[in-house]
Amino acid sequence: MNALIPLVVMLPLLGAAAALIAGKRQRLQVIVTVIALVAVLAVSVVLLVEVDAVGPLIMEVGGWPAPFGIVLVVDRLSALMLVVSAVVLLAVLLFSVGQGMADGDSETPVSIYHPTYMVLAAGVFNAFIAGDLFNLYVGFEILLVASYVLITMGGTGPRIRAGVTYIVVSLISSMLFLASIAMIYGALGTVNMAQISVRMTEIDPSVQLILHVMLLIAFGIKAAVFPLSFWLPDSYPTAPAPVTAVFAGLLTKVGVYAIMRTETVLFAESDVNDALMVVAFLTMIVGILGAVAQADIKRLLSFTLISHIGYMIFGIAMGTVAGLGATIYYIVHHITVQTTLFLAAGLVERQAGSTSINRIGGLLKASPVIAVLFFVPALNLGGIPPFSGFIGKLGLFTAGAQQPSWLVYALIGAGALTSLLTLYALARVWNMAFWRPADEVEKYESPLLEELTEAPGENTDREMKNSPRLMIGVTAAMVVVSVALTVFAGPLYALSSRAGENLNGPENYVRLVFPEGVE
């Protein structure tokens, strides 16, 4: 069973290699990459079932014993993240295949998009199974470099501009991460996460705090927490629709995942929870205010993305099993729903030629299907019961109420406010883009629209196009998945809670990698 672990990285890389070798044969590239991701999905599901039933798995790559070689670790959290990412990556790949079949090669050129996308997938998967801090860095590096290529694909002016912001900020974060690793190695002489966990407790707490804060800043940029989040809305929305969808769904969550491991494994004894709570509070509020101020749906969604990262940080900052369990469920929910909404926004853009609610209308009449595909995840993101957004929030609030403090109460309040404002922003989109008849759009006056800002850059309307069945089908499938998070909330939440229990205390992790202990 251990042999399955490295496959989640190797299969996409093989897919990438095959796609490169296939060269000009685009159909073959498409088939190969889809097969690779389906295989990863299958492997991840098997891993999840196995890990949940039997226990966590590790692989010492190359047979080199930890801490000398690289160790890959799959516990419940990792396995769950693998499954969700595989689902999302596969869905978005199919979506872009549909788009490519309809529009030709302009938005997601096969020979560039497919290999790069596979590498991105490999990076994401690698980050989730890394048991070695430097390997985690490599995972980040893989997915980041791939994302640099994807975000600038097509090379249009706005994309290059967005790409520069994105790349430079990401490089800074990578540098900080790398420097942190160097400092940690300097202090502890190891990069194996389990061993770091053990040795970290032996150095002075104030030194722990320095390293801790430094690493958190590096991850905070990737996870887009306030005030390290400003780059995100300026870069994500300009990319091609499927790229934005997968970035928004997955990449920030890899940062959140890393923060989770940081708090529970690497620096289990160093407590910065109160600071994290403050950060979570600001992330939620400032993020959602950003969403309220946007006219452009994709940009609006980017702000909700940041804002809801705040929920996850809140959960992590509680540090309890209940808080971690709720956070894990929330991450699963948010990956799915945020991706789905961006896919739906992609459909809106095709249907209406724009994503600015100042310029579009009548979509309910024009395409009831797209309307449903937008409405359901929008409610979900707005935390309307019975959808998973509500369940996750309920879990977080409940976990908070179980360890009351003024800070926690403030966060619960902020969480409720964020939820309301998310609903406001999305319902306004619904009112304007879907309900409002198309012929009212010109010279429309409403106090609801007065303070909105458009996305920067030129806002010319795109050509209106029908969406092929595959794109609609994939989006619909994602909506079904997001609803399934509610229907199967029982087992899923139970699984998240068990995953949260695994994170309770670093001993679990250490024992897994070093059954006989380590110093």
Partner 1 sequence: MLTALASFALAALIAPTLTRWLGTRVFLLLALVPLGALAHAVWHAPTVLSGTAVVESYEWIPQLHLALNVRMDALSWIMCLVVLGVGALVLIYCTRYFSNDEPALGRFAGHFIAFAGTMYGLVVADDVFLLFMFWEATTIFSYLLIGHYTDRKSSRGAALQALLVTTAGGLAMLVGLVLLAVEAGTTSLAAILAEPQSGALVTTSVILILVGALSKSALVPFHFWLPAAMAAPTPVSAYLHAAAMVKAGIYLIAAMSPAFASTPGWRELLVCVGVLTMLVGGWRALRQQDLKLLLAYGTVSQLGFLTVIVGFGTRDAALAGIALLIAHALYKSTLFLVVGIIDHRTGTRDLRKLSGLGRASPALAIASTLAIASMIGLPPMFGFVAKEAVFTALLESETAIGMVGLIGVVAGSTLTVAYSARFLWGAFARKPAVTAVALHKEPADFLAAPALLSLAGLAFGIVAPTVGYWISGYSENFPAADGRDDYHLALWHGIEPALALSALTLVLGIVLFWKRSAVTSFQKRVPAVINSADGYWKVMRFIDRTAARVTSSTQRGSLPFYLGVILLVFVVAVGTTLVLNAQWPSDLVVWDYPAQLAIAIIMAVAALAAVRASKRFTAVVLVGVTGYGMAVLFALQGAPDLAFTQVLIETVALVAFVLVLRRLPQRIGVAHPRRRRSGLRIGLGVGVGLTMAFVAMISLGSRAHDPISRILADIAYEGGHGTNVVNVTLVDIRGWDTMGELSVIIVAATGVASMVFLDRRTDDLPRPQQLLGRRGFLLRQKPVTEPARPRGRQQSDDSAETRLSWLLAGRTLAPENRSILLEVTVRLLFHSFIVVSLFVLFNGHNGAGGGFAAGLLAGMALVARYLAGGRYELGAAVTIDAGKLLGTGLLLAVGTALVPLFFGANALTSTWAEGDVPLFGQVEFVTSTIFDVGVYLVVIGLVLDVLRSLGGEVDRQQEDEDPATPNEGLDERTRV
Min dist CB 517 to partner 1, Å, is 14
Min dist CB 187 to partner 1, Å, is 4
Min dist CB 273 to partner 1, Å, is 15
Is the separation of the CB atoms in 254 and 143 below 8 Å?
A: yes
Binding to partner 1, residues 333-392 (CB under 8 A): 364-365, 379, 384-386, 390-391
Binding to partner 1, residues 72-111 (CB under 8 A): 72, 105-106, 109, 111
For 365-391, letters b (16+ CB in 10 Å) and e give eebeebbebbbbbbbbbbbbeebbbbb
Binding to partner 1, residues 452-491 (CB under 8 A): 452-453, 456, 489-490
Is the separation of the CB atoms in 422 and 383 below 8 Å?
A: yes
Among 231, 342, 374, 509, binds partner 1 (CB under 8 A): 231
Count CB neighbours of 441 within 10 A: 17
Residue 365's identity, in one-letter code, is: K
Size of the site for partner 1 (CB under 8 A): 146
Min dist CB 178 to partner 1, Å, is 11
Binding to partner 1, residues 489-518 (CB under 8 A): 489-490, 493-494, 497
* 123 vs 506 by CB, closer to partner 1: 123
Among 8, 19, 194, 345, binds partner 1 (CB under 8 A): 19
Give the largest CA-CA distance in the chain.
73
* 206 vs 460 by CB, closer to partner 1: 206
Is the separation of the CB atoms in 237 and 305 below 8 Å?
A: no
Among 28, 42, 158, 185, binds partner 1 (CB under 8 A): 185
Work out whether 44 is an interface residue with partner 1 (CB under 8 A): no
Among 96, 152, 339, 355, binds partner 1 (CB under 8 A): 152
By CB under 8 A, which span of 44-52, 139-147, 260-268, 312-320 interacts with partner 1? 139-147
Binding to partner 1, residues 251-280 (CB under 8 A): none
Query: Which residues, 6 or more positions from 503, have their beta carbon under 8 angstroms from its beta carbon?
Result: 77, 260, 264, 265, 321, 324, 509
Work out whether 436 is an interface residue with partner 1 (CB under 8 A): yes
Q: Please spell the DSSP secondary structure of 157-188, one letter per residue.
A: HHHHHHHHHHHHHHHHHHHHHHHHHHHHHHHH
Rounded to 5 degrees, φ, ψ at 3 are -60, -20
Among 35, 148, 158, 271, binds partner 1 (CB under 8 A): 148
Give, to the nearest 10 degrees, the angle between helix 76-103 and helix 252-261. Answer: 170
Residue 354's identity, in one-letter code, is: S
